[in-house]
Structures are given as C-alpha cells and as structure tokens.
A and B are shown apart, each in its own frame.
Chain A
Amino acid sequence: MFDFWNNYVALNYFYILSFSIIFIYRSSNVVKVGTLMKSSIEVDNLKKSYDKTRFRDRVAMLFGAKRTREKVVALDGVSFKVRKGEVFGVLGPNGAGKTTIVKILTTVLIPDSGEAKVLGYDVIKESLEVRKRIGVLPEDSRRGFGWRLTAFENLLFYAYAYLLPNPKERVKEVLKLVELEEEHWDKWYQRLSQGMKQKLALARALLPNPSVVFLDEPTKGLDIMFVAKFREMVRNKFGDEDRTIFLSTHDLRLVEGTCDRVAIINKGKIVAIKPVSELKNLVPNSIRNSYVLEVDSKSTDRLNDLVLKLKELDIEWYQVDNHKLEFLVKDGSLEVANEVLKMAINNGILVHSFHKKEIDIEEVIMRILRGGKNAS
C-alpha cells in the first residue's frame, strides 16, 4: 500500500512536470492577437462630433440654465479597412475629418460611437497595445520636442521611452534613414530649418520600427528635393514591405505616387474608396475620353460655325468654351476626331492645339468632392 501510494504521487509529479514543460513550450508559440490579421486597420461606423459650446455656457447648464449645445460633426459613420502592408491615403478638404480619424486611430481621441482597431487591438480598450505598434507623424510635428535639446538628444529620449534596445544605435539608424545630415544631429531643435524639423519628426515616427505608420500632412515644410525622395520612401514603406502606411494629406502628387488605395472624405463622410488607378473611373466617360480643340481667339466666330456642322459626324456630346471646343466621339474613334480637325482647318480656323483630354487626379478629386461619386 505504501509503495503504491509513493508511486502514485511520483506519477502525478511526472504528469505535472510533463504538462508544465509542454505548456511552457507551446505558450511560446502562441500567436499574439493581431499578428495574423489581414487588415491592419479596421474602422466601423465611426462617429465623432465636437462640442463647441463655450465653457461659461457649459458651466451655466450645470446650474440649470438653458443654453443650446453647439456641435460640429467631424465624422459621420466612417467605415473602411486597410490591408497589411498597404499604403492607404485619406484625401479631403480642410475640416473634412482626416485628422480626426488619425487622432482616433492613434488613441489620443475617443470617438462618440463605432469601433476602430489597429492590428486587431481596440484603440480605446487596448490603447497601450496599439501605441506599442504604431509610429505617428502628427500634423503639428513640433510638439513633444525640447527646443534646447539637439536633434539626437530629442530622439534619444523617445528611444528610452520606447524601451528600445541599443537606443543610440537606433537613433543613428533612423536619422540616416530620413537623411538628416550628420552635421545637424548636434544642433538644437530650435536651430533646425522647418524641413529638418519635419525630418526629425518623421524619424521619431519610425524610431520604434512600427508596424503601422500614421503620417498626417507629412510633406508640409519639406523641400522639393526631399519630397521626391520622401515619395520613394513611402512607396518602399520605409524599408519594410509588411509595414502599413496611413497617409492623410492634401498633397495629391504624394497620393498618386505612393498610395495603393485612397479614401476621399468630405464633411465627415467617406465619398469614395478606390485604388488610385481606378479613381478616374469615378468621373463620367464624357470627361475622360473627350478631345479638345483649341483655336486662336480670331477664329472664335468660325468655331461656332463649325459646331453647327458637327451634327453631320458621329459626335455624342460637345461643349464650346470661348475658343475651346471639347467633344466626345462615339466609341472614341480617332478617325472621326481627325475629321473634326480637318473640318476646322478647311473652315480657315487657326488651330493652336488638338489633343485627347488627360484628366489629372486633382480634377478627379475636385469633381468627386463637388458632386459625390458620379460627379460630372
């Protein structure tokens, strides 16, 4: 009996030990929430309005006085997903809600309702986990820098705050990455040029080697030479293919040159989300495939005569604007377009130029913002 009991206890110890070893081994392989997510950012029906009621009115209301609350809607049911490794742009006019989205996703602003997740972590309930994994270049990038600290010292503080291994080495790495010349590393922040300050802010955003980088108006203050380089950096996701870039900007060339997809936001609502290459499809055919004939100002009267003869050809649509004729040919036929040109020359019209209209992204955005998706 005694032996049996001893064996029984020993056997239990053996089981416990074995399971402990297996548990420890397996738990090291547990995949953390978010690391297998296909979407880096998920935003669902996000709403946010700002209370603009004056402080004295709010205090008066606390004591029962009647005042009306002044509210400004910043986001009105915004939903979108950003894929892992995607460069995603948000475009829109001033006050459209771009910065509000960035602030919510970077955990410094709480939405009224809706849900937002970054790498699978809720931006409100798991804000610390979100902040561990993101880098931010805010709109006012001067904030959080010591003006009488050098560029290097400023970053070193953040390297310590992020508990980075080899902080000095990492600071050097990112300063080189953003191409801030070494001669400026030991300059006080306040003595750096606007462009250098912006580079330093970018370096701060990249310092913790984040999985998601938020860039709010990143090209503000950058010189032309660096903007081109910056576009290339964003396209390369700052050296990490898996990194997601969330870009909020007015800079259309930056969007066109870097973004995989773009969301256009206006008055707190998403108007369109498309790959940049497909944005032009949102503009009606008549605007995308038309031909433009520009004539000399002396030929304006003859141009009006020509318009009367256009009915003889296969022209779907046309418009005359002073000394410019814009027309759409059925099936985009180049022959018919050439026929119009011949008729113009035969009528003695002095032609300045004749070309197929190339609509640029700026015009596309303007048209979308002016009149919704199907703006014409």
Chain B
Amino acid sequence: MQAKRLLGFLYIDFKAWLAYKYELFFWLLNTVVGAFTYAFLGTYVTLYEKELMVKYGSFLSFLIVGMAYNYIIYTSLMAPRMAINPWNLMWRLLIPAKLYEIIIGSVLFRYLIGIFQFLTYFAVATLFGAKFNIDPISTLTAIILGVAVMWGLGMISAGIQVITKRWDPVTWFFTMLSGLFSGVWFPYQLLPEPLQYVSLILPQTYILEMLRGAMLRAKSLTLMMDQLIPLVLSAIITISIGYFIYMKSIEYAKERGTVGEY
C-alpha cells in the first residue's frame, strides 16, 4: 500500500470538506451540540432515574414517546422539502394538480413508513415492560397539532430551499436543537435553568410534553392547556407564514427559471 496514494485521497477529501464553508460551520456546531446531548443523557438520566420512574412510568416509556415524535411528527418538518426535490419538482408541477395535492401526495408514504416504524418500537418496548396509559383523544390531538406546526415550519424550510437550492437554516435549527433542548431523549427540566428558556421557545417541547401527558399519564385536554394553547397558536402562525413563503418561493423559482435546478 502506497502511503503517498492514501495521502492523495486524504487531501482531496479534506479540500472538498473545506470547500463547503456553511456546512462545515454547522457540522462543527452539530458535533458540539450532539456531544452535550449525550453528556446530559448519560449523566442526568442516571441521577434522576427515580423521579423519571414516578413521573413517566419508566425511562423506556419516556423514550418511546420521543420515537413517536421522531417518526411521525418530525417527518412533517421534512415532508414539504421532499415534495420539492428538484429532480421531480418540474414534473410534479406539470401534473394537473393543485400544489397542496402534490405536497401531500409526495409525503403520504413517508407517514405510513413512520407509523410502521413507531409501532415496531412501541410493540418491542411493550414486550420489554414499557407501560403506557393512553388518552386517545389527547394523543390524537397532540399528533395532529404537532404535525400541523411541523408542516408550517417545513414549508418555510422548503420555501427557503427552493431559492437557495441547498441549505436552509430552519430545518437545521429545529433538528439540531430538538435533541438537546426539547426533551426527545431526556426531560428538558434536567437542563440548567438558563438553558430551559431555550426549550420554552421551541414548539417541539410543547409537542413532546403534550404527547407524553397523553400517552403516559392519560391526561385529558383540559389538563394540558399550557401545551394546547401555544401549539394551536403556533400551528396557525407557522402554517400561514409557511404557506405564504412556499407559494411565493415557487413563484419566484418560476420567474427566475430555476424550478428544476439544484
């Protein structure tokens, strides 16, 4: 094996890595945030295990609801972007269909896959003794509101990507922060107090709180007004802004002739 040749490979990969400046910056940030997420998970979950047992039944049950968020609700953030994949967008726009039909049609299968994945986790977790105490109406409401808020954010994200063609800050922002601040892997209350304020501005925090209340403690809607009201408001605001940005960006791409470009 020639060391010089390996050095050549190393060199071009390093140069290519350096060439994407924005991505490099956010890659570094993701690495740091990811490291902190696991540090909190490892340290505080062990420390507060008893409290978690009392509040959520078990840590496993707590995590499974996080999976429900990841597989069903988080899909909505990505869904509008998948619909505008430049490889297909021009052809999707040529079909005599309304834009919302195209977007919904493009992501339906992802939801089915997401639900299947979640149910698999749910079934295995039940086998391993996870306990659930479900209020069906509250659960359904939490999922619908979560999907609605994420759809709104997803449309903002997709709208930006139709124009920039590559990177959008919205998906990155909500994806990166949700792991550490929103309580996907551990309750956000375990974070130091100043960091909990970050959690409170993220809609995912409310979605997960409501979902856990509905799936683990069978809370009725009337007992979850603290989550319900912010989520309803967020859904109305993000969907209105998202739809406006999405439509405008498609129009902008049609004007600039960049519909099918990467």
Contact = CB atoms under 8 A, between A and B. Distances in A.
Contacts of A140: 260
A106 B98 CA distance: 15
Contacts of B221: none
B257 A106 contact: no
B166 to A, nearest CB: 10
Contacts of B95: 131, 158, 161-162
B88 A109 contact: no
A144 B92 contact: yes
A128 interface: yes
Given A109-B259, A128-B96, A162-B96, A144 B91 contact: yes
B94 A108 contact: yes
Contacts of B97: 128, 161
A106 B94 contact: yes
A110 B94 contact: no
Given A132-B96, A144-B92, A158-B95, A108 B259 contact: yes
Among B91, B96, B254, B260, find the residue whose CB has the most chain A CB atoms closer than 10 A.
B96
Interface magnitude class on chain A: 20 to 34
A107 interface: yes
A362 interface: no
Chain B interface helix/strand/loop/mixed: helix
B51 interface: no
Contacts of B94: 106-108, 131, 136, 144
A187 interface: no
Among A48, A100, A128, find the residue whose CB has the most chain B CB atoms closer than 10 A.
A128
B251 A108 contact: no
A218 interface: no
A338 B218 CA distance: 107
A108 B261 CA distance: 12
A144 B89 CA distance: 8
Interface residues of B, number: 20
A138 interface: yes
Interface string B187-222: 000000000000000000000000000000000000
A58 to B, nearest CB: 10
Among B87, B88, B93, B94, find the residue whose CB has the most chain A CB atoms closer than 10 A.
B94
A374 B39 CA distance: 79
A143 interface: yes
B164 interface: yes
Interface in A31-69: 48, 50-51, 55
Interface string A101-125: 0010011111000000000000000
Given A108-B93, A110-B251, A128-B98, A143 B259 contact: no
B245 to A, nearest CB: 16
Contacts of A103: 257
Contacts of B256: 50-51
B224 interface: no
Nearest to B251: A110
Contact of B90 (A110, A143, A158): A143
In the A-B complex, list the 9 residue pairs whose CB atoms are closest, starting with the nearest: A144-B91, A132-B96, A131-B96, A110-B254, A161-B95, A110-B255, A109-B257, A108-B259, A144-B88
14 contacts: A51-B256, A106-B94, A107-B93, A108-B90, A108-B94, A109-B254, A110-B251, A128-B98, A131-B96, A132-B96, A143-B88, A143-B91, A144-B88, A162-B95
Given A143-B88, A143-B90, 9 more contacts: A55-B164, A74-B257, A106-B94, A108-B93, A108-B94, A109-B255, A110-B255, A161-B105, A162-B96
